[in-house]
Structure 1
Amino acid sequence: MTDLVPLRRALISVSDKTGLVDLAQALAARGVELLSTGGTALALRKAGLSVRDVADVTGFPEMMDGRVKTLHPKVHGGLLALRDDQEHLAAMEAHGIAPIDLLVVNLYPFEETVAKGAAYADCIENIDIGGPAMIRAAAKNHAFVNVVTDVEDYHALLAELDANDDQTTLAFRKKLAQIAYARTAAYDAAVSTWMAAAIGEQTPRRRAFAGTLAQSLRYGENPHQKAAFYVDGSNRPGVATATQHQGKELSYNNINDTDAAFELVAEFDPAEGPACAIIKHANPCGVARGATLAEAYSRAFDCDRTSAFGGIVALNQTLDAATAEEIVKIFTEVVIAPGADDAAKEIFAAKKNLRLLTTDGLPDAKAALLAYRQVAGGFLVQDKDTGHVSAADLKVVTRIAPTDAQIADLLFAWNVAKHVKSNAIVYVRDGATVGVGAGQMSRVDSALIAAKKAERMAEALGLAEPLTKGSAVASDAFFPFPDGLLEAAAAGATCVIQPGGSMRDDEVIAAADEAGLAMVFTGQRHFRH
């Protein structure tokens, strides 16, 4: 392959006009002939640049509302011809095809159109045909042709020309080609994913996912693992869309845990009061409501002060100074909130390693989304767990019915259990977690671990007894035997929420009655692996 290739002729056709005129002026100053179409040509002429219409090159006008303009041998021949192949050169001469050395194309804004909730017909009209065809042709022929699909690469192109006497290197063209194929792949993925949803196809035969690099990470879960962070363009409020106000670069684990924390705290409507979630290794070590945000944080912190050290704090309301003063009393990795006032930012500024993220909103905990996970040889896809239950959905199965106050704690515990790794046991008292057992192979062990943590915190706080006394307890899945339930009762729980559905439900209900517990079934489980 030829290394250095001069740039004499460029075809520019862009939907996003950002940086267009500056690029075209820089190319024209280098003596590059400019070809263009439609609105792009108009914008360049308005800037005083000399532009030749593609229609003049092909001998065919744009037609069918612009659907047909670049799908022509004089365009694709100019992009695909091998400049070192005599037969190709002869064909070009015979048919009046001139080479195109640079293609600058960004595609119809399909993703943006879908994000706006446009009608089906409007989405279809925003599927680009000529653009991807030209991009793929130019990228295939990167031995001779440069293809630029992203505005952020305009500067890199000009820098490459400056460094090589208005020529480009093969290594540079290869890099542009890879970017171009990734762009068309992402575009096709967006179209196919949207269409599957639009026609109600829940399990399409082929499924594609795509993302755009947001950050190259120092490493993954461990220092020997390489990692990067990609965003999917969905604009769901969270770590992917947040503004980072201070602190060092987020790590792989920071991003994973911050996402877990913010998705959990979003379960609690800010209109119903402040809430805080503290996460460590993707599991909550404390979740609470409070009369103020500072109180919510303090109550969440008191669930497990040991685990909260070096954790992630998520808030459902704007961070204020009083809450910031409490948070900075211990080492915290990340704080994420819908917003932060100036006084809070000033307090955090003294903690240079503390990352503060704001999102201008909370994610919709009930929004229909897909979740996927890689396995050997493939990946699993499922609906995100958006299951919710209300008091009206609960089925009382014991002789004793829970009080209104107990129901409130049961529902709180249930919402938290959804975000705890299975097997999950969550004790709650007065709108705050007081014990969390996560990720155990046995539900009995989860109940014991959560209770033991509560005992240790009672000692640390100087309490006469653990706060699990008089608590509500949630189990993310049914109790297969009475043993786990009885451990919760031994810890002091007075009411239980669980899915039900075990072959031994009758035994578990009988055990609850004998222990004097109130128990409700949800008919819904929340496994989280």
Structure 2
Amino acid sequence: MTHDHVRVSRALLSVSEKTGLVDFARALHGRGIALVSTGGTFKTLKEAGIPVVEVADLTGFPEMMDGRVKTLHPAVHGGLLAIRDNPEHQAALAAHGIGAIDLLVVNLYPFEATIAADKPEDDCIENIDIGGPAMIRAAAKNHADVAVVTDVADYGTVLAALEAGDGTLGFALRRRLAQKAYTRTAAYDAAISNWMAARFEVDEPQAFRAFGGSLAQGLRYGENPHQSAAFYRAPGIPRAGVATARQLQGKELSFNNFNDTDAAYECVAEFDPARTAAVVIVKHANPCGVAEGSSLLDAYERALACDPVSAFGGIVALNRTLDAEAARKIVEIFTEVIIAPEATEEAIAILAGKKNLRLLLAGGLPDPRAPGETVRTLAGGLLVQGRDAVTVDDMPFQVVTKRAPTEAEAIDMRFAYRVAKHVKSNAIVYAKGGATVGIGAGQMSRVDSSRIAAWKAREGADRLGLAESLAKGAVVASDAFFPFADGLMAAAEAGATAVIQPGGSMRDNDVIAAADAAGLAMVFTGHRHFRH
């Protein structure tokens, strides 16, 4: 039987994160609620002068094995699991002298923080909580009679509900807390499972993957206003980026902001900040301008020149600390988000004048070679794959044409292929002098992407008052092979001089012959970069 309101007479508190603990426990005691606690929590409450019973006095057994065994006992789990309206359950409590526990307050050993800090394996193992999840699951299962709190953020909610309910907690709140509790244990177990899969080098971890996450924030809506949405942080070792960044100013990120900012930051991370300054401008998850430069300002101006129309209202990602010089230039046009590893105080002050501009500081760059997974939902299931963690620096260049690329062309080839990896397929990227001059993305045919990229390069020349397209003398990167020579010929007609592509088409010989006839240099990498 479900009780609308359950009176809280006794609470068990066992927490690793002690923020707000003393005030919360004092408020519970002030309501006449008897307190039971364990280990460090008991010590904290005792030192604060709050009356509390140690769990060892409840179970009749001392904590043992360095605290590994303390709550795994019928005196605890019987008190949590007993159904209040079940005569047999009540008789068992009475026969064994077990008192009911009406409120459980537990947060778990900090396993995620331990692995994030790259602690030794033994430390990680010791931070796998056993008793905590067992108690949480027991209390959540019996939420008809018991309330369970797993998040410090809910302390105030529970105290307010106790006040409003004259010492009772309503069923709706207990049910919500129970769901949140199972979400927490699911995310916790996912973090452990995934860490073990990586650490123990499981041959096929994807067959045993666990997915979980903790709610970071609700979003106003998803891609469109009629879609609900939320942002969750994944368990395990964090990857520097939008999910871990500090937001210094601006409105809350939208669903599309999260998606586009992640795309921009992953792309700019392909460029080693120790080698060059780099800037990526993204619109609708596609780069619309990418450039290297002698400074961030130089890189930004060159990236913007590729497609300033699309850049309006876009995302700007930088691979170095944002400085005042670059900040002043970026705010000259409307920009939704700027993300960088860090920013100078002067740059922060400049951006503060743009109240709607979101500034994110990620604290570092994601490693483009790091292993990991990407997940996509589909009807009735999930598609899981390893992250595209190969970089152009790891690929062999197989020259397949009569003419080999010049040194300058080879440098631009590598630049263009870094960008093509982050452009939606079918992807074509024109680049010259360490900057994109035309990008064609997401078309159903590769030749259309090639034509769009060439058109963008022609537009750029028109803006500058130049007679020749910016594609003249550029290199072209294709994320996958040219199935026919037409896409390559569109690049040659636009003025490109060299091509980088994976190769592997049944018609590679035809494409190579067309390149030779046009005087192009072409290299195969053996690695494609589909991004759908």
Report if the CA contact (8 A) 2:148-2:174 is conserved.
yes
Instruction: Provide the aligned length of Structure 1 versus Structure 2.
Output: 529
Secondary structure in structure 2 of the residue aligned to 1:514: helix
Give the structure 1 partner of residue 164 of structure 2.
Answer: 163
Q: CA deviation at 1:204?
A: 4.7
Report if the CA contact (8 A) 2:264-2:281 is conserved.
yes
The counterpart of 1:256, out of the listed 256, 259, 269, is 259
Report if the CA contact (8 A) 1:283-1:421 is conserved.
yes
Give the structure 1 partner of residue 338 of structure 2.
Answer: 335
Is 1:2 aligned to 2:3, yes or no? yes
**Paired AA for residue 337 in structure 2:** V
Q: Identity of counterpart residues, as a percentage?
A: 66
Pair 1:67–1:275, CA change in 2 (3 A): same
Moved more, 136-145 or 421-430: 136-145
Give the structure 1 partner of residue 75 of structure 2.
Answer: 74
1:190 and 1:344 map into 2 onto residues whose CA distance is 37
1:41-72 deviation line (CA, Å, top 9, x unaligned): 12221222222122222222222332222111
Q: CA deviation at 1:286?
A: 0.4
Pair 1:124–1:437, CA change in 2 (3 A): same
Secondary structure in structure 2 of the residue aligned to 1:302: helix
Q: CA deviation at 1:85?
A: 2.1
Give the structure 2 partner of residue 507 of structure 1.
Answer: 510
Give the structure 2 partner of residue 285 of structure 1.
Answer: 288
**Paired AA for residue 285 in structure 2:** A
1:169-193 deviation line (CA, Å, top 9, x unaligned): 1111111111111111111111222
Secondary structure in structure 2 of the residue aligned to 1:393: coil
Secondary structure in structure 1 of the residue aligned to 2:45: helix
Pair 1:105–1:392, CA change in 2 (3 A): closer
- Structural mapping, 1:73-152, within 5 Å: 73-152=74-153
Secondary structure in structure 1 of the residue aligned to 2:469: coil
The counterpart of 2:465, out of the listed 454, 462, 467, is 462
1:198 and 1:290 map into 2 onto residues whose CA distance is 39
- Structural mapping, 1:176-215, within 5 Å: 176-201=177-202, 202-215=204-217
**Paired AA for residue 368 in structure 1:** P
1:522 and 1:122 map into 2 onto residues whose CA distance is 42
Is 1:385 aligned to 2:400, yes or no? no
- Structural mapping, 1:273-352, within 5 Å: 273-352=276-355
Q: CA deviation at 1:266?
A: 0.9
2:317 and 2:200 map into 1 onto residues whose CA distance is 37
Is 1:439 aligned to 2:442, yes or no? yes
Secondary structure in structure 2 of the residue aligned to 1:452: helix
1:28 and 1:22 map into 2 onto residues whose CA distance is 10
Give the structure 2 partner of residue 29 of structure 1.
Answer: 30
Secondary structure in structure 2 of the residue aligned to 1:117: coil
The counterpart of 1:218, out of the listed 217, 220, 226, is 220
Pair 1:183–1:503, CA change in 2 (3 A): same
1:290 and 1:448 map into 2 onto residues whose CA distance is 27
Secondary structure in structure 2 of the residue aligned to 1:270: coil
Moved more, 361-370 or 440-449: 361-370
**Paired AA for residue 391 in structure 2:** H
Q: CA deviation at 1:205?
A: 3.8
Secondary structure in structure 2 of the residue aligned to 1:61: coil
2:342 and 2:117 map into 1 onto residues whose CA distance is 24
Secondary structure in structure 1 of the residue aligned to 2:384: strand
- Structural mapping, 1:332-411, within 5 Å: 332-390=335-393, 393-411=396-414
**Paired AA for residue 468 in structure 1:** A
Report if the CA contact (8 A) 1:305-1:457 is conserved.
no
Unaligned ranges ≥5, structure 2: none
Q: CA deviation at 1:452?
A: 0.7
- Structural mapping, 1:236-251, within 5 Å: 236-251=239-254
Secondary structure in structure 2 of the residue aligned to 1:223: coil
Q: CA deviation at 1:230?
A: 0.9
Secondary structure in structure 2 of the residue aligned to 1:390: helix
Pair 1:125–1:339, CA change in 2 (3 A): closer
Q: CA deviation at 1:319?
A: 1.8
2:386 and 2:531 map into 1 onto residues whose CA distance is 13
Moved more, 69-78 or 390-399: 390-399
Q: CA deviation at 1:244?
A: 1.8
Report if the CA contact (8 A) 1:437-1:447 is conserved.
yes
The counterpart of 2:527, out of the listed 506, 524, 527, is 524
Q: CA deviation at 1:196?
A: 2.1
Secondary structure in structure 1 of the residue aligned to 2:274: helix
Secondary structure in structure 2 of the residue aligned to 1:235: coil
Q: CA deviation at 1:505?
A: 1.5
1:105 and 1:437 map into 2 onto residues whose CA distance is 53
Report if the CA contact (8 A) 1:391-1:411 is conserved.
no
Pair 1:391–1:172, CA change in 2 (3 A): closer
Q: CA deviation at 1:251?
A: 0.9
Give the structure 1 partner of residue 416 of structure 2.
Answer: 413
**Paired AA for residue 178 in structure 2:** A
The counterpart of 2:431, out of the listed 428, 431, 438, is 428
2:526 and 2:425 map into 1 onto residues whose CA distance is 17
1:253 and 1:228 map into 2 onto residues whose CA distance is 11
1:21 and 1:318 map into 2 onto residues whose CA distance is 40
TM score, norm. by length of structure 1 = 0.97
**Paired AA for residue 230 in structure 1:** Y
1:41 and 1:390 map into 2 onto residues whose CA distance is 55
Q: CA deviation at 1:391?
A: 8.4
Q: CA deviation at 1:26?
A: 1.5
Moved more, 12-21 or 511-520: 12-21
Q: CA deviation at 1:257?
A: 0.4
Structure 1 ranges of 4+ moved more than 3 A: 118-122, 203-206
1:350 and 1:508 map into 2 onto residues whose CA distance is 53
Moved more, 170-179 or 59-68: 59-68
Q: CA deviation at 1:392?
A: 7.4
Q: CA deviation at 1:318?
A: 1.8
Secondary structure in structure 2 of the residue aligned to 1:386: coil
2:43 and 2:449 map into 1 onto residues whose CA distance is 67
2:414 and 2:206 map into 1 onto residues whose CA distance is 36
Moved more, 228-237 or 115-124: 115-124
Q: CA deviation at 1:31?
A: 1.7
Moved more, 86-95 or 344-353: 344-353
Unaligned ranges ≥5, structure 1: none
Moved more, 421-430 or 474-483: 474-483
**Paired AA for residue 181 in structure 2:** A
Is 1:45 aligned to 2:46, yes or no? yes
1:16 and 1:342 map into 2 onto residues whose CA distance is 32
1:497 and 1:372 map into 2 onto residues whose CA distance is 29
Report if the CA contact (8 A) 2:11-2:104 is conserved.
yes
